[in-house]
A and B are shown apart, each in its own frame.
Chain A
Amino acid sequence: MSIINTENSYIKYYYNNDPSKIWREEGTDTSHMSVGGCTRKPMSFRNECVRSARALTSNYKDLTIFMSGGLDSEIALHSFMAAGLTPKLATVRFPNGANAHDINPMLEMVREMGLSCHIIEFDPEEFVQSEECYEVAIRYQAYSLYQQILLRVAEDYSAPMITIDEVELEKAPVINWDTGKYTIPWMFLKKEDQDGVWRRFNDKTGIPALNNFYTYSPESMLAFLQLPTVDDLINDRIFGKLGWTSSKMKIYAHTGFKFRPRPKFTGVENYMHLWNQVGYNVKKHLPHSPRGFIIPAIELRDNLIAGKESSCHIL
């Protein structure tokens, strides 16, 4: 049975205009992403999250949420609970409390909710110095240390799991190099590394390791884009913003779920030396640079409403 990443596979990543080709062979391969349109009117964003939680659990009964310590996974957990589901939880802990600042408050919250969280011990230092990270990089065409760690953990975990994505929005310049005219629109962003890599992992291992929660269905994505704060953001009515992350708490507040305000952590703050080391050396193992897919947010929203497909092609 094929793995269900998104509802009706409405998000696709592929190469050379061939939807069955999910592995990149050469630098000259073209990369493609398509996002299908809505087939129904979306509910509120909160209700869409609850619906996604139900749909994912219906697809994979024993689904484990990989908790990062961040807001995205916390809101996802609240959505599962609001759906009357008690998901399995897991998190990755680094030696000597290196990511305690990120995961401990989450573990505390989980305890208060009466849940338990399986802790997976992992040593990034050993993973990099043994060069195992590059084997993982080659195995799945994974470019960043963060993804390599998650993929290695997912191999051992070997059960249905989900790392929580986000509807990433960023203001990015679009230049017409022939005329010099440019715009800096808000873009919906997905990455060959962060997103496409899980499709390759599924293909190679057969393990249903998912990464689409907020983008599980076209309707959940549209409900997000229609939130008042997101609408203000993508129409440039909040001054001085280049990305969505600094408005994340305001955006997720629309769900009505209670969460603790917190500073933004990546969880790998104590491993930036490794991050840079891998970023530099991975080029010896993977000859291509990872590509980012972008679709103008307003165009995407309008296409979702109209039930039309949006696409992004890159060379």
Chain B
Amino acid sequence: MSYTLKPLEFSDLDFTVETALKIYDNSDPDKYPEFKITNDVDRATRFQKFFKMFLIPSNFNNHNIRKAFGLFKDDECICLVGVRRWGHLPSWSISWLLSPSIGARFIPIFRILVQELCKFHEAAGMNEFYVTYPSTREAAYSKIMLPIRERYFTFIECVVPKNERHPYGLIHELMGGVLHPHEMSFRRYILRRENTEAPSAGGKHVSMAAAESDLNARLEKFQERQDKIEEYKKNKAKEKPENENANNEAT
């Protein structure tokens, strides 16, 4: 069985909306807050406008700050996911997930999905991600995400009480900018890296030699740039008298 995570395109919008409509028709309408996305009453139009944000054509600025992916088992689309990337530091978050209700069979699929998303974002240098979910789902959620802990530190940063706005902007934005009808947990995942252990667990400080070699590499780059500017200025200054001579000769 092979699963593939494929980025979706603008041309996948109708398919995404159809999938969402089917799934929402079978879900409890009181389970989710009202996300104020558009002024439209019609659900299909609302979905069109919402999912469009994750499928923006590439001639738009910042077109992939939000992105939709499909997880495919061979040619069959198993689930759809939307992610948001963040400009304050290299990080991303899961915005939405569309999957038919298939009970426990969903666990391995979700694990593969998260693993593939991590691989994709790590390759782009994004080593931190965020998720939010109803706090009542903590047991199920922490179980489903257990394998991720092999490679990521994780912890609940905070729980936002029901019908309350978190004072921190990023957390409020991660909550979809709305008040939820139940407590919501905000969980962070940070990729484990070398030499992060506490001293009591064998952690060591960065040696002087390693720190200096890093600094020297940066200074060399800086000097290269300065040399380039100096060279340009010299050439420009040389061009000037040559042009003046040519002008004098012409007159």
Query: A291 to chain B: closest CB distance in Å?
Result: 9
Asked if residues B61 and A177 are in contact (CB atoms below 8 Å), the reply is no
B residues with CB within 8 A of A: 7, 36-39, 49-50, 52-53, 56-57, 59-65, 67, 85, 87, 90, 120, 123-126, 226, 229, 232-233
Q: Is A294 an interface residue (CB 8 A)?
A: yes
Asked if residues A177 and B229 are in contact (CB atoms below 8 Å), the reply is no
Q: What A residues does B36 contact at CB under 8 A?
A: 287
Asked if residues A28 and B53 are in contact (CB atoms below 8 Å), the reply is yes
Candidates B53, B59, B67, B87; contact of A178 at CB < 8 Å: B67
Q: Is A263 an interface residue (CB 8 A)?
A: no
Q: What A residues does B56 contact at CB under 8 A?
A: 315
Query: A247 to chain B: closest CB distance in Å?
Result: 15
**Given A28-B52, A239-B229, A315-B53, does the pair A176, B39 have CB atoms closer than 8 Å?**
no
Report the number of A-B residue pairs with Cβ-Cβ less than 8 Å: 58
A residues with CB within 8 A of B: 25-28, 30, 174-180, 237, 239, 287, 294, 311-315
Query: B43 to chain A: closest CB distance in Å?
Result: 15
Q: What A residues does B60 contact at CB under 8 A?
A: 30, 313-315
Q: What A residues does B126 contact at CB under 8 A?
A: 180
A28 and B50 CA atoms in complex are apart in Å by 8
The 5 listed contacts between A and B (C-beta, < 8 Å) are A26-B38, A28-B49, A177-B67, A180-B124, A313-B57
A26 and B50 CA atoms in complex are apart in Å by 12
Add 12 more A-B contacts to A180-B124, A315-B63 (CB < 8 A). A26-B38, A28-B53, A175-B87, A176-B124, A177-B62, A177-B65, A178-B124, A179-B124, A237-B233, A239-B226, A313-B57, A314-B60
A313 and B58 CA atoms in complex are apart in Å by 10
Contact residues of B: prevailing secondary structure: loop
Contact residues of A: prevailing secondary structure: loop
Q: What B residues does A25 contact at CB under 8 A?
A: 39
Q: What B residues does A175 contact at CB under 8 A?
A: 62, 85, 87
A26 and B123 CA atoms in complex are apart in Å by 35
Q: What B residues does A180 contact at CB under 8 A?
A: 90, 123-126
Asked if residues B52 and A177 are in contact (CB atoms below 8 Å), the reply is no
Query: A313 to chain B: closest CB distance in Å?
Result: 4
A241 and B59 CA atoms in complex are apart in Å by 28
Residue with the highest number of chain B CB atoms closer than 10 Å, among A25, A176, A180, A312: A180
**Given A26-B39, A239-B229, A313-B59, does the pair A178, B65 have CB atoms closer than 8 Å?**
no
Asked if residues A314 and B61 are in contact (CB atoms below 8 Å), the reply is yes
Candidates A28, A177, A179, A237; contact of B38 at CB < 8 Å: A28
Asked if residues B125 and A177 are in contact (CB atoms below 8 Å), the reply is no
| Closest chain A residue to B120, Cβ basis | A178
| Closest chain B residue to A176, Cβ basis | B64
Asked if residues A28 and B37 are in contact (CB atoms below 8 Å), the reply is yes
A315 and B87 CA atoms in complex are apart in Å by 16
A79 and B238 CA atoms in complex are apart in Å by 34
The 6 closest A-B pairs by CB, nearest first: A180-B124, A180-B125, A177-B85, A28-B49, A313-B60, A177-B64
A38 and B188 CA atoms in complex are apart in Å by 51
